[in-house]
Amino acid sequence: MSMKTIAAAAVLAGLGAPLALAQEASPSRIGMGAAVAAALAEVPGGVLEAELERERGGLVYEIEIAGTETLHEVVVDAATGKVVSAETRAIEGMWRGWFASERFEAARGASGRLAQFIAAAEERGGGSAKELSLDEENGRLYYEFELLAPTGEVDVAVDLATGEVLLGDVD
């Protein structure tokens, strides 16, 4: 097998994973907005991360939520929208300072608008959200989204303060 053939096979194999997950982004799967709403109904707080994952042969959303003194991981079945599990742990060490500031309040305040942020990111990027994370750049908080689009993965960011939607990573 030639090096070109091996390289082409490696590229195609790498593209296969997002495409396989994108094919599963069907009407039979709930969207990230619905999954986050289910998680927040179970555990109120500020959403830090959410990710579509394959687990035990099915798809689930793993959602990290910060409470006042606790972190929660809520798992939502992507087929049914039901909460599968919720685990809680105390915020400790260096994380205590991060959550004790305006970041926590901003994330908690943005939870009510998160469904709008997800919809805006999906519209701008032309795909469905498979991952989101709270990030800070230059003193501004953003939700960064990774979308599955027909053309591959697309990165979109939404400013928590303004709701501005930016295509690409925020640096």
Q: How far apart are CA 35 and CA 40, in angstroms?
A: 9
Q: Is the pLDDT of residue 59 over 70?
A: yes
User: Considering its fold, how many domains does the chain have in total?
Assistant: 1
How far is CA 3 from each of CA 8, 15, 89, rounded to the nearest angstrom? 8, 18, 49
Residue range of the domain that includes 52: 3-167
Q: Which domain CATH number covers 104?
A: 3.10.450.40
Q: How far apart are CA 77 and CA 81, in angstroms?
A: 5
pLDDT of residue 158: 96
Count CB neighbours of 122 within 10 A.
22
- The tens digit of pLDDT for each residue in 100-132 reads 567 777 888 888 899 999 999 999 999 999 999
pLDDT of residue 57: 86
Q: Which residue has the tokens 């396989």?
A: 20
**Model confidence band, residue 6 (pLDDT cutoffs 50, 70, 90):** very low
pLDDT of residue 101: 66
Count CB neighbours of 83 within 10 A.
18
